Structure formats: C-alpha cells, structure tokens
Chains A and B, each alone.
Chain A
C-alpha cells in the first residue's frame, strides 16, 4: 500500500511538473499566437473558434498562448523564489543554532520582526521604488518566505543536534559547521525538499496575488496571475477566461505538493526498506 502511494505520488506529481516545464520550454520557441497581439476583430472568442483553442480575451489576445508564456514566468518565478527561500532559510537557521544561544535569540527575533511585516506591504513598497518586475517579485517573496522556512529548519535541526552521533562527531574533532552541513543537512534534506515544493506552489500563488494587485508581473511579460487579473474584470460574460488560469494554477500547485510528498519518502533511507 505504502509503495503504491509512494509511486503514485511521484508519478502524478512528476508528470504534472514535467508537463508544465515542457510547456514553459515550448513557449520559448513557439506559441500558437503572439500572446500580446491585440486583434480587435476576434474579441471574446469561445473554445476553438477560428483557431484559438481556448478562445481569446476581451481585446482578442489568445488565451492558450498567454497560458504557455505565463507558465514560463510563473514556474520560473516559483522555483527560483522557493530555491532562494530554502537556501536563505537554512542558512539563517544554521547561523542561529550554530554560533551561540545569544545569536540564536537575536536571529530568530529578527526573523520574527520580518514575519510580522505584511508581505504585501513590502511588495507594494518595493514595486513603487523599483517598478514592478520579476526581480522585485522574487526578492519580496524570498524575504517573506525565508523566515518561515528558517523556523521549520531550526526546529528540525535542534533535535538532531541532541543526538549522540553529533556528540560522537564532536569527539572526533568536528566543528559545528561540519556537523551542520554533513550530519544535519542530510537528515533534514527530506524536509527541505518538501519545503521547496510547498513554497514553489506558494510562490506561484503569491505571485498571482501580487500580479493581481498590479505589483507583480505586467504585460508585455505575462504570468498566470496577470491573466487572472485581466479575467476578473469580465467575470460573468467570459468566465472561461478566469477559469483556465485558475485551473492551471490549481493543477500545478497540486502537482508540486504530490511530488514533494513522494520525494520526501524517497530521500529518507529509513522509509524505503532494503537499499543495500
């Protein structure tokens, strides 16, 4: 039962993720139409009308092309943000627990302060100062996510530091950072993988939210959030416009979560029976 679920998670999650990565790659080379090409003769087309597979929006831009181009931006932003957040969060946590209880206290309280500031406000400020762009979105979201990940990593690290094998490593003259990177890191790797997949999904969602507020990605660059924002202006007459980006986000987030769950089990040698 366990093995079946495990494979199922990885296969489903993996296929979904691979599918979106392929979509992103395709969009670099080819999209059915130019996603930014306004064709006022073809506004608000439905399914498959005059070659537009998913129809067009209120100014006649092709939705499928938009989704493909959006996939590139959203998946890229999601992965980069999650990667930066996990690396930063882990470093913060290791610095906190590795140096001394005082440093721990100071770092963790600083992270508390960061967590207390609403991410949207930071996003608005950064967007105002530097202009809305992919870069500012990544920075804002990483600053917002890293403290949460740091807490998760720290709480996973502390019990490991109390294990005897850490004492044993100290006996053989290993320093704190050897212990953290060679003993603790492999032991919490499964947690990091799960965090990465969760926060990729979170970042895609958050980026959609930011784009929706107009401080994320805006045309000519396209993300799924951009499409969602444009669609909400015409919910009702053209619900499909909103439905497609929403579904795509939902499926991607689901896929990342399944993949993360599956990978967690694979990375932990204790859960896979015989591997010798």
Chain B
C-alpha cells in the first residue's frame, strides 16, 4: 500500500538549534500512528512542521509528501488546499482551541463554508450530524452555546467534530486527552478513532501515554531528542522493545497493581532528564542516560530496518 504521508529526513531548526533531526516516517491510509516521547522530544514540532505552523524563526527542511504534495516549502496558496482540508488537527487544550467570544456554530460554519462553498448553506445540518455521531447530546443546542458553557469532554468532542468536518485524509491529534479525566479520555479516543475509521483517514496521535498508544494505535514511533529511535507495530515495539529508551519507557509506565505490590519507591525511573536543545550530546541523544551506552554511542547510530520495524541504536536489546 502506498503511504498517505511519507516523511523523509525532516529537520526543524531555527538556524542554531534543531528540534527535529532527520525524521523518516510512513503512514498508510487508515493507519493510526502513536508518536510517543517526553516533553521536548520534538513531537509537537513535528506536528507543527507538517501543518506548516512553526513558530516564527523556525523552519523545516526535508520532505513530507502527502499524496503528491510536498508539505515542506509549500506555497501559501497550495497550503490552503491542504491545511484543514486534507490534513486537520485536534488540539490539546479544548478551551484554548475555541474562540471564547464565538458560539460553537460559528466555528463549524467557518470551517464548512471554507472547505466547500456549495455546502456552506447546509453547515447547520452537517454539524448537527457530525456532533450527534460523536455522542454530543442536543447537538443543535450545543451549536448555540459558547465554549465555556460546555464541559471539557463535550468541547473535546467538538474539536474532533471540527477536525473531521472537512473529511481530511490525515488527522493530527496533539495530546487530545490531556485536559480531560481518564473516564472521558477513553470515550473521547473511542470517538476519535471511530470518526477516523468512518472517514478512512489516518491518525497521528501525539502523546506521552503508552497505555493510550497500546490501546488505540496500530503502529508507534518513539521520539527522543528530535529523532525517531524506534518504530514499528505497537505490540512489537512495546512488547519486545529493542531500544533501551523504549524499554525504559515501557518499564517506567505506572501500573497500579505494581505500585500496590512493590511500594511506590520501587517504581523504575529513567535517570536524568532529556537534554535541552542547547546541550544535546554528540552521537546518540540518549547515551548519557542509557545503561547500555558504549564508546560506539558517540557516533550517531544509523537506522536499521528489519521488516516493519526501525531502530536507531548501537547496542539494542
């Protein structure tokens, strides 16, 4: 199957520092990819680079081909054809992602009429359908409300509704459930995956929650220091991790039974913190925190590919 998004050697830098350093990634149609990493791993910058929404001063090089369009270095006019129509984004903070001075309906109206002018008059019916599908009760009433009058879970559903309203091929969800509690988290993700399935769209789920990834994603890519250190089918990467960082991440994932059995201090942690962009070590970005580091790690490890898995490590498990 041809990938819907093919990212090759993507770099994001501000001229001095690089936040994303040579990312390669393929997403197949309908596939759900979990992009995992600590804060500062470059996963959000990756998403912004795809959307061409990098902060001022940052620029991307390399290529990210969606269908036949390279999203990197795309012209502003072509950009409008792609952003919001073929690629949509679900934001993290549902309160901040909706204009507090506009009713929910206004948001939908803008998006739908922008996407296709012949549907502009039917925006109300379309948005009611979309929201009802997502389990928003009284969708018609919800459209007349202001964002602050809705609950966090409802707002998150509305964001998902806005993302799918233009029937995109790819949806990037940047930590879509960090602002809602666990019970709603599950529900929101069920809705998100159901909505993407219905469209046949692919999903990039940017998160640091391995449990979510293992439940909802077919493939996973683990990012560290701006690079993808390990990727492949979710069960393989999380079940039989080969990169020491992935293994440590999986190992440090909190499991309630383990906490009860072993006491809290027995929780395994990864020593140290992720190096800042200024103090990124030469060679492998993880080597200073890695228990398997050797002198070979002072060189940047090459990407080794076996089947559907990729790995960037000199001393894999």
Contacts and interface: CB of A to CB of B under 8 A. Distances in A.
A101 interface: yes
Given A167-B91, A274-B149, A173 B80 contact: yes
A171 B88 contact: yes
A183 B98 CA distance: 10
Nearest to A166: B99
Nearest to A101: B56
Nearest to B79: A173
B148 A270 contact: yes
Given A163-B96, A164-B96, A165-B96, A172 B91 contact: no
B100 A270 contact: yes
Contacts of B145: 276
Contacts of A186: 99, 101-102
A171 B89 contact: yes
A23 B100 CA distance: 39
Interface string B37-81: 000000000000001010010000000000000000000000110
Contacts of B110: 169, 172
Interface string A145-175: 0000000000000000001110111111100
Nearest to B48: A167
A164 B83 contact: no
Contacts, number: 66
Interface residues of A, number: 21
B216 interface: no
Contact of B101 (A100, A269, A274): A269
Contacts of B290: none
Given A270-B148, A276-B149, A183 B53 contact: no
Interface residues of B, number: 30
Interface in A39-59: none
A77 B144 CA distance: 40
Contacts of B148: 269-270
Nearest to B81: A173
Given A270-B146, A276-B149, A173 B83 contact: yes
B51 to A, nearest CB: 6
A276 B162 CA distance: 21
A76 to B, nearest CB: 31
Contacts of A276: 141, 144-146, 149
Contact of A187 (B100, B114, B146): B100
Instruction: Tell me if A's interface is mostly helix, strand, loop or mixed.
Output: helix
Nearest to B57: A101
Contacts of A164: 91-93, 96-97
B111 interface: yes
Contacts of B141: 276
B84 interface: yes
Interface in A79-130: 100-101
Q: Which of A168, A170, A172 has the most CB of B within 10 A?
A: A168
Contacts of B97: 163-165, 167-168
A63 B80 CA distance: 66
19 contacts: A163-B97, A163-B99, A164-B97, A165-B97, A167-B53, A167-B89, A167-B91, A168-B91, A168-B162, A171-B83, A171-B84, A172-B84, A173-B83, A183-B101, A186-B99, A186-B101, A269-B148, A270-B146, A276-B145
Interface of B: 51, 53, 56, 79-80, 83-84, 88-89, 91-93, 96-102, 110-111, 114-115, 141, 144-146, 148-149, 162
A-B interface, 5 closest residue pairs, ranked by CB to CB distance from nearest: A164-B97, A173-B80, A172-B84, A186-B101, A164-B91
Given A172-B83, A276-B141, 8 more contacts: A165-B98, A168-B97, A172-B114, A173-B80, A173-B84, A186-B101, A270-B100, A274-B149
